[in-house]
């Protein structure tokens, strides 16, 4: 929106991304290579039946980001860019065990879908330690809070508190 649509009804002061794949994902590269472009539509149909969206998957490859998206979507002068990454180590039952291993091998620490390297853009504000990609977008936190509460454990990452703190950071930056 900032660099392509160039809004005129308001002024964009900043963009803060959290575990966004600015450089693509080696896991997307792996899936495309493993499945093959001819079998990809069949995989998409299976994933869609499971309720998972697939429309952007090919656009998450490192090649697409490097050669298409990033050159066509440059930063805009006068806008401050901030980013955060995340590092998580998936447990035995985590859906991110395979993707984490593949990304770890190619780019290092990651949240199960996005490496810290790929998440870094503009002024890198820090790495969240522990939350998976789903935790960061608050898809799993509610269930984790309930289970950990029953087990008497404390949840270390609170997505709502993080995003409120992010708002405070922007205010401190004068944005």
Which pLDDT tens digit goes with each residue over 75-96? 999 999 999 999 999 887 788 8
In a domain, 43, yes or no: yes
In a domain, 158, yes or no: yes
Q: Which DSSP letter does residue 112 get?
A: S
Count of the separate structural domains present in the chain: 1
CATH number for 126: 3.40.50.1820
pTM: 0.83
User: Cα(117)–Cα(107) distance, rounded to whole angstroms?
Assistant: 7
Predicted confidence (pLDDT) at residue 54 exceeds the cutoff of 80: no
Q: Which residue has the tokens 């859906």?
A: 95
Average pLDDT of the chain is 87
């Amino acid at each position: 929106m900032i660099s392509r649509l160039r809004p005129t009804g308001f002024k964009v002061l900043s963009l803060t991304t959290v575990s966004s794949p600015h450089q693509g994902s080696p896991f997307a590269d792996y899936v495309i290579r493993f499945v093959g472009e001819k079998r990809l539509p069949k995989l998409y149909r299976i994933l869609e039946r499971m309720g998972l969206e697939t429309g952007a998957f090919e656009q998450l490859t490192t090649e697409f980001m490097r050669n298409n998206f990033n050159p066509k979507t440059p930063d805009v002068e006068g806008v401050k860019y901030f980013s955060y990454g995340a590092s998580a180590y998936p447990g035995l039952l985590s859906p991110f065990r395979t993707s984490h291993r593949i990304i770890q091998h190619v780019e290092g620490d990651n949240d199960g879908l996005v490496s810290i390297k790929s998440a870094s853009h503009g002024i890198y504000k820090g790495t969240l330690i522990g939350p998976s990609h789903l935790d960061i977008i608050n898809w799993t936190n509610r269930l984790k809070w309930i289970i950990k509460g029953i087990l008497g454990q404390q949840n270390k990452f609170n997505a709502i508190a993080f995003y409120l703190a992010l708002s405070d950071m922007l205010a401190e930056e004068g944005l």
